[in-house]
Amino acid sequence: MKIKKLFKEKNLVYSFEIFPPKEDLPLEKVFNTIEKLSELKPDYISVTYGAGGSTLNNRTSLLSSRIKNNYGIESLAHLTCIGAKRGSIDKILDELKENNVDNILALRGDIPQGGFVSGDFINSQDLISHINTKGNFGIGAACYPEGHIETKVKDLDIDILKFKEEAGADYFISQLFFDNNLFYNFLNKVKKKDIKSPIQAGIMPVINKRQIERIVSMCGATLPRKFIRILNKYQHDSIALRDAGIAYATEQIVDLITYGVEGIHLYTMNNTTIANNITENISSLIQSINSKKVI
């Protein structure tokens, strides 16, 4: 099933993201993660492309196939194209199709430290267009509520979002954010551009201060004062920070659902305890919202 169908059938789509282990580490731990996440009955689970975004020896196809074929949960395979040749992308598309994976999150990928490398794709729009010529896949794409960290022109990302939709993107998943008001402002701008594809809010619960600071430095997300106080207050108490992070993420999600967002995408960081606690906190809201869907 294409994930876009889920957005037509439900008022709220709820999903998780996991990542493969590094190529020199065994897969058993992430297999266990998938097992536990499947028990929470998400609408789908996405799998990032390689370890840390690497395009080499990635296990995305294998894990995406396991999610779909072993547990009957739709999977979303991330696919990056920077530096890639069409032949290598086609090989991955064939592998995904052979493994019954129907959905792809089309991404440009991070620019290597040495700068752009030679390849057949300039951006994710190119990849989206290419995927549309190579198979009957559902295609998701990324969006950036606060603008992509590389973007220097205000609201250029909104124009790019329109290009992605026109290229064939069915829906969008947002980069993580910690201030809902920034996300709502983004949605208003998207609406003015007549972008109609559903947008899921990407939420990342706090795990530890150093990790969040590293991620924020890479993506440029704003940390509200309330969030910073939490990090500073509990940075030396891992259990307290985890519980405070779960509470903050839950509060964010409750507000987003009440606002009427079309989906929540939880960046689990392969932490099933956090995914379980947050899902338990919001399960009644999801059930209530989706019980009112009129097809």
* Amino acid in the structure at residue 271: N
**Alpha carbon distance 178, 203 (integer Å):** 8
The number of residues in the chain equals 295
Query: Which residue among the candidates 17, 146, 165, 262 is catalytic per the annotation?
Result: 17
Q: d(Cα 292, Cα 172) in Å, to the nearest integer?
A: 23
Q: Is the dihedral of CA 188, 189, 194, 196 positive or negative?
A: negative
Cα–Cα distance for residue pair 73/64, rounded to 1 Å: 10
Assess contact for 247 and 277: CB atoms under 8 A.
no
Q: To the nearest 10°, the Cα dihedral for 217, 228, 142, 275?
A: 120
- The identity of residue 135, as a single letter, is G
**pLDDT tens, position by position, for the chain (295 residues)?**
999 999 999 999 999 999 998 887 889 999 999 999 999 999 999 999 864 444 444 689 999 999 999 999 999 999 999 889 999 999 999 999 999 999 999 999 887 776 666 789 989 999 999 999 987 999 999 999 999 988 878 889 999 999 999 999 999 999 999 999 999 999 999 999 999 999 999 999 988 888 888 888 888 899 999 999 999 999 999 999 999 999 999 999 999 999 999 999 999 999 999 999 999 999 999 999 999 755 5
Catalytic site includes residue 39: no
Residue 170 tokens read as: 């069915």
pTM: 0.94
Buried b (16+ CB within 10 A) or exposed e, 148-177: beeeeeeeebbebbeebbebbbbbbbbbbb
CATH class of 3-290: alpha beta
What's residue 285's pLDDT?
97
pLDDT of 293 reads 59
Helix/strand/coil (H/E/C) assignment for every residue in 200-243: EEEECCCCCHHHHHHHHHHHCCCCCHHHHHHHHHHCCCHHHHHH
Give the pLDDT score at 101.
96
